[in-house]
Structure 1
Amino acid sequence: MKQQLQLEFADVKRIAAAAEAHAQSKGWAVTIAIVDAGGHLLSLQRLDGASPSSALFAPAKAHTAALGRRESKVYEDMINGGRQSFLSVPGMHGLLEGGVPILVDGQCVGAVGVSGVKSSEDAEIAKAGIAAL
């Protein structure tokens, strides 16, 4: 049997705090979602001024990154490159940049999804949160 690492709630709080601090330092109103390796929501923060729709997009981006075990930008790039059929993949709804997997010792233990600013800035916030681990 293989042992699998899991995020603990203390890890989730540390990631969320670092991502929030990064977003606030830039003056960005975003929603930050953190999911486990199965894409299940562990934390959702909608910062003041963030669009209501960002509360839907951020968890979707995180879910996609966790299940795919790679950044959601990979899927956006595939679709933009002409692979339109990827839009029909079941369960994958956050096919935009801003979802980043949390990798520990080569294992995906979850993901962070951010929505509310430019997609590259969303990803920047997610990576800042993950760096707190």
Structure 2
Amino acid sequence: MQTIHRLTLEDALIILKAAEAEAERIGVKQTICIADDGAHPIALHRMTGARLTGVEIAIAKAFTAAGHQRATHLFNEPPNGPALPGNEAFGIQHMHTGKFTVFVGGFPIVHDGQVIGAVGVSGGNGEQDKAVGAAALAAFDKHIAGAVVA
């Protein structure tokens, strides 16, 4: 038997708020998706002025990070990114068509050794999406640390 942790809407909104604050700080209009461990969106926010296409992209990034339990940019990092040409997972983005992506910007949310959800960020360049994702994950860690009562 195992204990399963689940993200709540409250958790998702805290993560989303931190992601949006970082996006505003760095001056990029983002779409942010927080998904549960089944890769289903819990919260989705497209900042005013963010691209319309970012909605589906952010959802796909969260789906991929939750479902594959890894950050999406790890699929393409040279030299051994598994989705790079010649590597074992080349073409993996064609599975789950329209839902699976190897773009930078999807990050699993891990608690107590379990992937309990993911953040998908779309709208900036890779470094901007990573910065917003990192802020989201840091906010979750801070939230959980404050919620733990010994």
- Pick the TM interval, shorter chain: over 0.9
Alignment partner, residue 80 of structure 1: 84
Could you give the per-residue CA deviations for residues 43-94 of structure 1, whole angstroms, max 9, x where no partner exists? 1110111110011100100110001111011223332353333233336522
Query: Within the alignment, does 1:132 sit opposite 2:124 as a pair?
Result: no
Query: Could you tell me the TM-score, scaled by structure 1's length?
Result: 0.92
Change (3 A) 1:82 1:50: farther
Q: Unaligned stretches of 5+ in structure 2?
A: 141-150
Q: CA RMSD in A?
A: 1.5
Deviation for aligned residue 1:24: 0.4
Alignment partner, residue 33 of structure 1: 33
Query: Could you tell me the TM-score, scaled by structure 2's length?
Result: 0.82
Alignment partner, residue 109 of structure 2: 102
Counterpart residue type for residue 89 of structure 1: M
Distance between the aligned counterparts of 1:61 and 1:87, measured in 2? 11
Alignment partner, residue 67 of structure 2: 67
Deviation for aligned residue 1:8: 1.4
Distance between the aligned counterparts of 1:12 and 1:5, measured in 2? 13
Q: Unaligned stretches of 5+ in structure 1?
A: none
Deviation for aligned residue 1:23: 0.4
Q: Percent identity?
A: 35
Deviation for aligned residue 1:22: 0.5
Task: Indicate the structure (1 or 2) with the bigger Cα radius of gyration.
Answer: 2
